[in-house]
Structure 1
Amino acid sequence: MLLAIIAACEIGFWVLLAAGLATRYLLRWNRVSAVLLVSVPLLDVVLLTATVIDLRGGATAGFAHGLSAAYLGYSVAFGHSWVRWADERFAHRFAGGPPPKGKPRYAPERTRYEWREFGKAAIAWAIGCGVLLGMIAMVGDADRTEALLGWALRLTTILAIWSLWPITHTLWPARPKGHGDPTDHGDGGGDGRDAAATSGRGGSRW
């Protein structure tokens, strides 16, 4: 059931986001759009509440409980970036907005970009591990929460791997060939979800 709630929250995020942007740029219903977009973070509250209720009901923590903590962390840390990513593309497509910028290709802009993304990942790690520790303390039974410690290790490993990107771009910064523009941007979106999909790094929304 908890896995189904996680999936429903992810689907609900994109549905509310799409509806919020559609009402803003297509229908010009700014107030309705604001209500829909403000409702997006409430999905995280729903997931956290469901997780707490399940554990307090006597459930033994498993994969789904750890996943919910990780999901909450990345949702909070990357959520705003994901909304901005979608908003830029929606505005360009339907409201004559400027073309969306991708992530920078060259230093020093690319280096700063990678460190900003790592900062978000660190926030996601801190929130996720904080939620995990909160669950452990709430249950107060080591046998029922053993799986949550494993999730804390997973999140730490992900963060350690993620740190390789900014370190690499700091030590070996990419430079344009010839007279290329160092502020040139690629075509791909510069948000945490794209990075997660292409490099294995986790992903949120706020």
Structure 2
Amino acid sequence: MIIAGILGAEAGFWIALVLALAARYLLRRRTLSTVLLWSLPVIDLALLAFVVIDLARGSAPTPSHALAASYLGFTIAFGHPLIRWADATFARRFAGVARPPKPAKGSAAYVRALWVEWLRVVLAAAIAAAILAVLALVVRRDPLPSTLEAAGTNPLWAQMITLAVVVAVWFLAGPAFARTTPETRTSS
């Protein structure tokens, strides 16, 4: 049931976003577009309420509940850049706006973008961890785990471990070894 809620929230996000951008660029209805864009956080709040109500009614925490918390963390942290990307894509396609140049690999702008993206991952993980902690409080059946093994047996606490691994891997795959190159230092 929770997976259906996550899929519904994801579908609702994309439907509302496409409708908002279509209203803005095809119908030239900026107010309608703005109202539809404001519905995006409401979709996230509806998913959060759905998960909290499910746990408050006595459901045992599952990996699906933990996944919902992670989904919410990442949609909150990455939602604005994703909306900006979609808006720019619609603007290019329907308003004739030119594509902005991508920063050259190894340029200061490229390295800065990797760091900003990783910091968004850290923010997403922190938001998800906060939601997971609130969900654990709602459940109130499982005390704070005292060992890593105990945390691994509870889906909510195990997800926090997974989030830490995601943050570490993203750091190593992204900004950890990114450096500006001599060629791009002079041209940046």
Instruction: Tell me if both proteins adopt one fold, taking TM over 0.5 as the criterion.
Output: yes
- Tell me the percent identity: 37
> Which 4+ residue blocks in structure 1 deviate beyond 3 angstroms?
100-104, 173-177, 180-183
- Alpha-carbon distance between aligned partners in 1 of 2:182 and 2:11, rounded to the nearest angstrom: 39
Q: Per-residue CA shift, 1:80-111, capped at 9, x if unaligned?
A: 00000000010011011121444542221111
Corresponding letter in the other structure for 2:50: A
- Alpha-carbon distance between aligned partners in 2 of 1:101 and 1:48, rounded to the nearest angstrom: 37
- Alpha-carbon distance between aligned partners in 2 of 1:100 and 1:71, rounded to the nearest angstrom: 29
- Structure 1: gaps (5+ residues): 184-206
Q: Give the aligned CA root-mean-square deviation in angstroms.
A: 1.9
- Alpha-carbon distance between aligned partners in 2 of 1:9 and 1:174, rounded to the nearest angstrom: 42
Is the Cα–Cα contact under 8 Å of residues 12 and 43 in structure 2 kept in the other structure? yes
Corresponding letter in the other structure for 1:10: E
Is the Cα–Cα contact under 8 Å of residues 88 and 100 in structure 1 kept in the other structure? no
Matching of residue 157 in structure 1 with residue 181 in structure 2: no
Taking structure 1 as reference, are residues 100 and 7 closer, same or farther at Cα in structure 2, changes over 3 Å only?
farther
| From 123, 131, 156, the counterpart of 1:148 | 156
Is the Cα–Cα contact under 8 Å of residues 92 and 100 in structure 1 kept in the other structure? no
Higher helix share: 2
Corresponding letter in the other structure for 2:88: E
TM-score (ref. length: structure 1): 0.81
Q: Per-residue CA shift, 1:115-139, capped at 9, x if unaligned?
A: 1001100100100001111111221
Query: Corresponding residue for 1:16?
Result: 16
Q: Per-residue CA shift, 1:158-203, capped at 9, x if unaligned?
A: 0011111111104xx34548xx9955xxxxxxxxxxxxxxxxxxxx
Number of aligned residues: 178
**Partner secondary structure for residue 178 of structure 2:** helix
| Residues 86-105 of structure 1: pairs in structure 2 closer than 5 A | 86-102=86-102, 104-105=104-105
- Alpha-carbon distance between aligned partners in 2 of 1:126 and 1:8, rounded to the nearest angstrom: 24
Corresponding letter in the other structure for 1:40: L
| From 164, 170, 177, the counterpart of 1:168 | 177
Query: Corresponding residue for 2:150?
Result: none
- Structure 2: gaps (5+ residues): 144-152
Query: Corresponding residue for 2:73?
Result: 73
